[in-house]
Structure 1
Amino acid sequence: MSDSNSTRRVVLASFIGTTIEWYDFFLYVTASALVFGKLFFTTMDPLAATMASFATNAVGFFARPLGGIVFGHFGDKLGRKSMLVTTLMMMGLATFGIGLLPTYDQAGILAPILLVTLRFIQGLGVGGEWGGAVLMAVEHGKPGQRGFLASWVQAGVPIGLLLATGVFRTLSSVIPEESFMAWGWRIPFLVGILLLGVGMFIRLRILESPVFTEAQKSSSTTEMPILEVIRKYPRNVLIAMGARFAENAFFYVITAFVLTYATQQAGFSKDQVLQAVLIGSSVQFFVIPFFGWLSDRVGRRPVYLGGTLFVGLFAFPFFWLVDLRSTDALWIAVTVGLIIHSAMYGPQAAFFSELFGTRVRYSGASLGYQLASPLAGGLAPLIATALLDQSGGKPWPVAVYLIIMAVITLVAVWMAEETNEKSL
């Protein structure tokens, strides 16, 4: 098999596996906004139940750094491929388990405890998966193409979101509300076991990263990768963390929190909001590789900084568009938001990977990426919901919150070195 065919096969396998893992992860995000509050927190008023549901969602984000540390350690010692197989298995089984859970009315307090436990396992899995998936693409690529190749792994995120949202929207529209809340919501989670089989078949057939294989042959691996990251690359870990704040918070506000805001404050139906997310995710799938390619041409920093700047500029207009209570305006708000997000997310995989040496690349990229997850994406829907409640339903504090996140990311990326021509 030629090098180019091998590279394409690895990128495709990483893309499909990542799509499946994010399908699993986003199912929970969508269900936490629309279903879980009513099923697992029935003793609370609707707003409190939604916040409790978002809090269980955040548990997955707080588990992600631990997953990044554990799987990063073994990924730098044993290889990228074996960790990808393990994390995919964890995600698939945890998702299937959620589909089998009893509700609060059936099991009492045990129900939300089991829900949180399975969400924690999901967080561990996705926390370890990202680093391995992007490194397989980056380390198979050559200078001048790494941004484009790794961006296809990132493109698995909107497809995962598209699948998760599409399945939820389809089932909720064809199954009566009472039946959907009784059993229909379980179907998307149970289907995850079939996707797991597909993903395992594909990932078991790919080759190990050539860069890692070479490092193993020359005994260039390290016994404690995470300690070496902390000792040699603390600045780059902080840069990667800061670079994620605007990207991650903005994404979950415009895809998860919008489900709550648009239905409860702007009068949209659940189906209308899910349709807007579907349209935006479809567009984002094509836009992410473009920005990855652009970062190969002009650099990671200019593209990333441009996306971050537009987060700040679009924070208020996003809510103005939603408040027009027009379906077209809602579509525009979500789609433009996801295009802006793509300008950061497209170059991100290659950018973060290039910040660290081969010996600790899995650990370093995973740590920087995942440490920001609970502080940005994990808390974003919860913080936004709390700000909305404190302001009496006014969205301006949420917009200010997004601008603050953008400022943090602008500073972090501005301090980074350009990495697009760096040798691995």
Structure 2
Amino acid sequence: MTTVSQGVAGVVATDHAGQTHKVSPGEIAIGVIIGRTSEFFDFFVYAIASVLVFPKFFFPFVDPMTGTLYSFAIFPLAFIARPLGSFVFMSIDRLYGRAAKLAIALFLLGGSTAAIAFLPGYETLGVTAIYLLAVFRLGQGFALGGSWDGLASLLALNAPRERRGWYAMIPQLGAPLGLIVASAMFAFFVAALPEGDFLSWGWRFPFLVAFAINVVALFSRLRLVESPEFVRLFESRDLQPEPPMVTIRQEGRTILIGALAPLASFALFHMVTVFPLSWVYLNTPERPASFLIIECGAAMIGTAAIFVSGHLADRVGRRMVLGVSAAAIAAFSGFAPQMLAMGTLGEMAFMIIGFAVLGVSFGQSSGAVASSFSSQHRYTGSALTSDIAWLVGAAFAPLIALKLSHEYGLIASGAYLLSGAAATLLALYLNRELAGNRNAMSPMSIA
């Protein structure tokens, strides 16, 4: 028999032999970072290929701008399929356990990603190649809905009260880390290979690497979630799945507000990652490898800004950090997009400022996505809130921003950012849970 007791620095599980196993927030954080980095690496490998490869490979029958818009039209399919994946995999979780759910989901995610690497192009299969790309993109999103392991929720619930802002930013580190690796890998292949070789076979390697990383991440996460200490800890914290419709009926308002709260950072997320790459690639003579290197450097600044967000949230409160950063994003939307038309220095300024603002905002958006759930709805509610937030805030961002910029100029893309900032400020106003004491946070699960 194993008993669980809560301490300041972690949770202690005692087995039948009287041995104690302390589960610290730091140990949970390692699992969270591994899982998030692998997922975001998958995400960015596909996103970069959507700009550099897919328009020519799957849509050679149209001009480059139209081909990129078509490519971006397939991009959101993963976000659309993700909530459905959450519904299905929650049932698997309830029936067969978290380990079975994770194994199926991550192999499906890796398999869908690897399958894209072996796809022939339009010149070989015709429109069937496009359909297959769409199917595998749906498979990625469906699988991602099942990759929710609850470790981020566990981290939030076991973090020391005075450092909850710090621990809230840890899951967000996976985004810039995944971007840095994906951008560096594509930069290498773009620079090292002739364009013909890159479009023929070079672009496929990052997708195969993504599959390998998913396998490693799978076993790492399974080792944690299936250990007796973590199983008891999940149970003691009521981090158990329930039918999603039950959660929606009971916590619909919380899910809605939680999905609106991070829209500013989620919109900016794509405005400084996928969209600028597409604009620079289509509208300037600059080689994509050069911009990918700029993106790597800016992502490092974003990583540092995420750390800063944790420190600020513990000092002035998460709601203040989210509100001020949303206002900064609104200001950024009014002038920054035009920098992309000012040459290399303008591009660097746009990326550096954008990632600095994004890091502070995105670093605390996890808590906003989670909102506050009663214990029985915490696990499922967090997953659904995250799914909806990404769907509404990020899925269509590259398509909308590129279309607006193409039709009306770069300044028009700022309107998308401004709408996200307005939604975040409205959600913060409505969500009284975030308006409490300086460091007071209800038990939140982090998305």
Would you call these one fold, judging by a TM-score over 0.5?
Answer: yes
CA shift in 2, pair 1:44/1:320, >3 Å? closer
The residue that corresponds to 2:384 in the other structure is 367
Match of 1:149 among 152, 167, 190: 167
CA shift in 2, pair 1:421/1:72, >3 Å? farther
Task: Check if 1:356 corresponds to 2:356.
Answer: no
Task: Check if 1:346 corresponds to 2:368.
Answer: no
Structure 2 SS opposite 1:122:
helix
Q: How far 1:350 moved relative to its partner?
A: 3.1
Q: How far 1:375 moved relative to its partner?
A: 2.8
Root-mean-square deviation (CA, aligned residues, Å) is: 2.5
The answer to whether the Cα contact below 8 Å between 2:265 and 2:365 also exists between their aligned partners in 1 is no
Q: How far 1:363 moved relative to its partner?
A: 1.8
Taking the aligned partners of 1:223 and 1:5, their CA distance within structure 2 comes to 25
What 5-or-longer segments of structure 2 have no aligned partner? 1-8, 12-21
Task: Check if 1:415 corresponds to 2:430.
Answer: yes
- Map residues 295-374 of structure 1 onto 2, 5 A cutoff: 295-325=313-343, 327-374=344-391
Task: Check if 1:195 corresponds to 2:210.
Answer: no
The residue that corresponds to 2:109 in the other structure is 91
Larger deviation, residues 65-74 vs 367-376: 65-74
Taking the aligned partners of 2:367 and 2:94, their CA distance within structure 1 comes to 17
Task: Report the TM-score, using the length of structure 2 for normalisation.
Answer: 0.86
Aligned length: 417
Structure 1 SS opposite 2:107:
helix
Task: Check if 1:64 corresponds to 2:64.
Answer: no
Tell me the percent identity.
Answer: 31
Larger deviation, residues 128-137 vs 239-248: 128-137
How big is each residue's C-alpha offset from its partner over 1:164-199, in whole Å with a ceiling of 9 and x where there is no partner? 111111111011111001110101111223212321
Q: How far 1:364 moved relative to its partner?
A: 1.3
The residue that corresponds to 1:291 in the other structure is 309
Q: Which structure has the bigger radius of gyration?
A: 2
Match of 2:123 among 96, 105, 109: 105
CA shift in 2, pair 1:133/1:222, >3 Å? closer
Taking the aligned partners of 1:328 and 1:389, their CA distance within structure 2 comes to 22
The residue that corresponds to 2:5 in the other structure is none
Q: Which amino acid aligns with 1:404?
A: S
The residue that corresponds to 1:234 in the other structure is 252
Q: How far 1:32 moved relative to its partner?
A: 0.3
Structure 2 SS opposite 1:259:
helix
What 5-or-longer segments of structure 1 have no aligned partner? none
CA shift in 2, pair 1:133/1:280, >3 Å? farther
The answer to whether the Cα contact below 8 Å between 1:245 and 1:409 also exists between their aligned partners in 2 is yes
Taking the aligned partners of 2:442 and 2:271, their CA distance within structure 1 comes to 36
Structure 2 SS opposite 1:92:
helix
How big is each residue's C-alpha offset from its partner over 1:323-379, in whole Å with a ceiling of 9 and x where there is no partner? 221x23312211211221122221122343351123122221222221132332111
The residue that corresponds to 2:399 in the other structure is 382
Task: Check if 1:39 corresponds to 2:57.
Answer: yes
Match of 1:396 among 411, 415, 429: 411
Task: Check if 1:176 corresponds to 2:194.
Answer: yes
Q: Which amino acid aligns with 1:213?
A: E
The answer to whether the Cα contact below 8 Å between 1:40 and 1:104 also exists between their aligned partners in 2 is yes
Larger deviation, residues 180-189 vs 329-338: 329-338
Task: Check if 1:26 corresponds to 2:41.
Answer: no
CA shift in 2, pair 1:296/1:369, >3 Å? same
Q: How far 1:229 moved relative to its partner?
A: 2.4
Name which structure has the greater RCO, CA cutoff 8 Å, separation 6+.
1
Taking the aligned partners of 2:348 and 2:216, their CA distance within structure 1 comes to 32
The residue that corresponds to 2:4 in the other structure is none
Taking the aligned partners of 2:166 and 2:106, their CA distance within structure 1 comes to 24
Larger deviation, residues 364-373 vs 414-423: 414-423
The answer to whether the Cα contact below 8 Å between 1:84 and 1:133 also exists between their aligned partners in 2 is no
Task: Report the TM-score, using the length of structure 1 for normalisation.
Answer: 0.90
Q: How far 1:68 moved relative to its partner?
A: 3.4
The answer to whether the Cα contact below 8 Å between 1:65 and 1:370 also exists between their aligned partners in 2 is yes
Structure 2 SS opposite 1:422:
coil
The answer to whether the Cα contact below 8 Å between 1:14 and 1:136 also exists between their aligned partners in 2 is no
Taking the aligned partners of 2:183 and 2:39, their CA distance within structure 1 comes to 14
The residue that corresponds to 1:278 in the other structure is 296
CA shift in 2, pair 1:273/1:404, >3 Å? same
Larger deviation, residues 178-187 vs 371-380: 371-380
The residue that corresponds to 1:212 in the other structure is 234
Larger deviation, residues 188-197 vs 122-131: 122-131
Structure 2 SS opposite 1:44:
coil
The answer to whether the Cα contact below 8 Å between 1:76 and 1:363 also exists between their aligned partners in 2 is no
Taking the aligned partners of 1:178 and 1:259, their CA distance within structure 2 comes to 20
